Amino acid sequence: MSAPRRALALTLLLLAACQATPVPVPTTPVGEPITVPAGFDVEGHRGNRGNLFPGNTLPAYASALAMGVDTIEADMQISAEGQVFMGHDDDLEHTGCTWAGEGRAPSSKISRLNTAQIGQFDCHTQIDGIQPPPRLDTFLDAFFAAAGPETALNLELKQRSNADADVYLQALIAYDQGCDHCLRGRLILQSFQWSALRYARANYGDAIEFRAAILDKRGKLAEIEEARAYAEIWSPKHPLVTPELLAEVQALDMQAIPWTVNEPARMRELITMGVDGIITDYPDLLLQLIGRAPTP
């Protein structure tokens, strides 16, 4: 990372603050470093959510980038006017953002608010002035200002219909075309709605390069085998991972990157099993565990 980019990331890092709903603090020690294969993927969940950063905010993303994660994991939502914003929940109050405008908020749901109204919500990053959820293009601008040349993006498609997938993909394609295909080789799209990934592959696979990750709460091998037609990554809730299922999935030539793993002891277990990466609220602990001390 160049000096200006590192400076930007660290500046945003220093401006961050506590989040409304703290993530449980890990109780197990990191212990001795463990060796991982080349290409092991350290993913910062919603940025660096565990270390007192409001998730899906610019400071959370910048903090994770500054410490040297391989991938930023983030979520997208769609406003009433069809603009894409970063956010885990449609309801801003669920993630600790509060209305800072005059009178009562017209709604707390991104899907019922326009850009100007969303701009009146404060997500409490303790940066001077109101800090609303960032728009997708603002997030991507900040990402490319601070990210290393190989840092990836893992963006979750949250959708109610294929029309939502159209909005997400068209916004990403527009940005990619405007930056001379800067997303090429970096973009992962994930979803619990596997049909969204199948739709994205079928309708936009020729327009933008991406890998697809199926978010999994069931762990049914037959379903995973079927998804291999359009997805390259199996991303299960971490208790689903067993040595047997992991071997079956990797035999399909799929990567296994479980979520959301915050206890170092469990990180160690999964690495020993042979997972290809881990999504965590505490990327600093994972980096320590694999012998990659967070970048100062």
Encode pLDDT of 117-148 as tens digits.
Answer: 999 998 876 555 567 899 999 999 999 999 99
Query: In the predicted model, is pLDDT for residue 114 greater than 70?
Result: yes
143 inside domain = yes
51 inside domain = yes
295 inside domain = no
294 inside domain = no
Q: Is 44 helix (H, G, I), strand (E, B) or coil?
A: strand
Q: Pick the more confident residue, 40 or 12.
A: 40
Query: In the predicted model, is pLDDT for residue 43 greater than 50?
Result: yes
pLDDT at 293: 81
Q: Pick the more confident residue, 182 or 24.
A: 182
pLDDT at 131: 73
Encode pLDDT of 202-242 as tens digits.
Answer: 999 999 999 999 999 999 999 999 999 999 999 999 999 99
Percent of the chain, pLDDT > 90? 77
What is the H or E stretch that residue 270 is in? helix 264-273
Cβ-Cβ contacts under 8 Å for 2 (sequence gap 6 or more): none
The listed range with the strongest mean pLDDT (24-33, 127-136, 169-178) is 169-178
How far is residue 127's CA from residue 125's CA, in Å, rounded to a whole number?
5
Q: Pick the more confident residue, 249 or 7.
A: 249
The answer to whether 109 and 91 have CB atoms below 8 angstroms apart is yes
CATH of the domain at 268: 3.20.20.190
274 inside domain = yes
User: What is the rounded average pLDDT of the residues 186-196?
Assistant: 98
pLDDT at 226: 99
Please give the residue range of the domain that contains residue 58.
3-289
Query: In the predicted model, is pLDDT for residue 37 greater than 60?
Result: yes
Nearest to 57, CA basis, from 24, 96, 26: 96
pLDDT at 273: 99
Query: In the predicted model, is pLDDT for residue 30 greater than 80?
Result: yes
Encode pLDDT of 145-165 as tens digits.
Answer: 999 999 999 999 998 899 999
Q: Is 47 helix (H, G, I), strand (E, B) or coil?
A: coil
The total of structural domains in the chain comes to 1
258 inside domain = yes
57 inside domain = yes
267 inside domain = yes
The mean of the pLDDT values for the chain is: 90
Encode pLDDT of 57-81 as tens digits.
Answer: 888 899 999 999 999 999 999 999 9
Q: What is the DSSP string of 115-128?
A: HHHHTTEE----SS
User: What pTM value is reported for the model?
Assistant: 0.90
Encoded amino acid at 67, one letter:
M
The answer to whether 190 and 168 have CB atoms below 8 angstroms apart is no
Local confidence band at 294 (pLDDT 50, 70, 90 cut-offs): confident
Dihedral of CA atoms 48, 20, 172, 65 in degrees, nearest 10, equals -20
Query: In the predicted model, is pLDDT for residue 110 greater than 80?
Result: yes
Phi, psi of 43 (to 5 degrees): -110, 125
